[in-house]
Structure 1
Amino acid sequence: MTCKEAYRYFLSIACTLLILGCGTSGNGVSSSSAGSTGTSNKIIVDNPTLDLTDYLRRVPGVSVAGSGPNAFITIRGINTLLGNPSPLFVVNGVRVGRNFSNVYNLVNLHDVSNIEVLKGADAAFYGVEGGGGIIVINSKM
């Protein structure tokens, strides 16, 4: 087996484990939906005078180091194959990347309805990109 074949084999096993949601547990904030293999925490944005990092600090399992656009966000209990522990940010269904500074400057909390954190099987919808977890930000419609 060549190195390239071994790498592909390793990735296929790792992706399978990601899809199965190994090592996840459910915790709720305002409302939560915990499946047998994944965790989803949703918080309602009810005070737009707070900072986006203030809301993320309220979610169990989310670590926020610093504040403002320079904050570093991680989801505890997540190990990623890509080497980047930052979660993928999704705003209104559009993947905007892992750079929190861009998301911070893009999102106006006056327009935000809720913020949802996905990990385990719930994040598998996003494939390998979901390995570090997903933070979904939804606007009021």
Structure 2
Amino acid sequence: MKLPIIISTIAVALLFFGCSTSETSTAEIHNRSVNIHPEGAVSDDNNYYRSLADYLKKVPGINISGSENNQIVTVRGISSFNSGIEPLFVIDGVVVGSNYSQASNMLNVQDIDYVRVLKGADAGLYGVRGGNGVVLIVTR
């Protein structure tokens, strides 16, 4: 009488542990294959941008003005009284500065994974340099 109860208990336990293990494995594989970007980040898989300015034109909150050789990038709603009007550019965690042409020359637009714009208190991490906003660029 005890043997069928023990066998059924073991069978239920194996079934329970087997299902939860395979579900976890599937979830881990799914998370590794999907690119997860921070909230507010803009990414695109199309590789048709010729310059960083072309890519930044689709990012909400960024204005681009000027000609090809002399472009000015500004973050909407942000202005600083004691510095220029361009935001701080950060590429893969390295502060590049507020010069758009220098940031553009440092990377290939095809290598961009996503771009995120920081304004206000979020840009406070970079202190006074982030007073005009911060453009975070992460490459693949």
Counterpart residue type for residue 136 of structure 1: L
Q: Distance in 1 between matches of 2:136 and 2:96?
A: 10
Other structure's SS at 1:102 match: helix
5 Å-filtered alignment, 1:33-112, equals: 33=39, 41-50=40-49, 51-66=51-66, 68-112=68-112
Pick which of 114-123 and 49-58 moved more: 49-58
TM-score (norm 1): 0.66
Counterpart residue type for residue 101 of structure 2: S
Q: Distance in 2 between matches of 1:139 and 1:32?
A: 14
Q: Distance in 1 between matches of 2:93 and 2:107?
A: 13
Q: Look up the match of 2:9.
A: none
Pick which of 56-65 and 83-92 moved more: 56-65
Q: Which runs of 5+ in 1 are unaligned?
A: 1-30, 34-40
Q: Which runs of 5+ in 2 are unaligned?
A: 1-36
TM-score (norm 2): 0.66
Alpha-carbon offset, residue 102 of structure 1: 0.7
> Is the 8 Å Cα contact of residues 53 and 67 (structure 1) preserved in structure 2?
no
Q: Which consecutive segments of 4 or more residues in structure 1 shift more than 4 A? A: none
Between Structure 1 and Structure 2, how many residues are aligned? 103
Identity %: 42
The structure with higher relative contact order (CA 8 Å, sep 6+) is 1
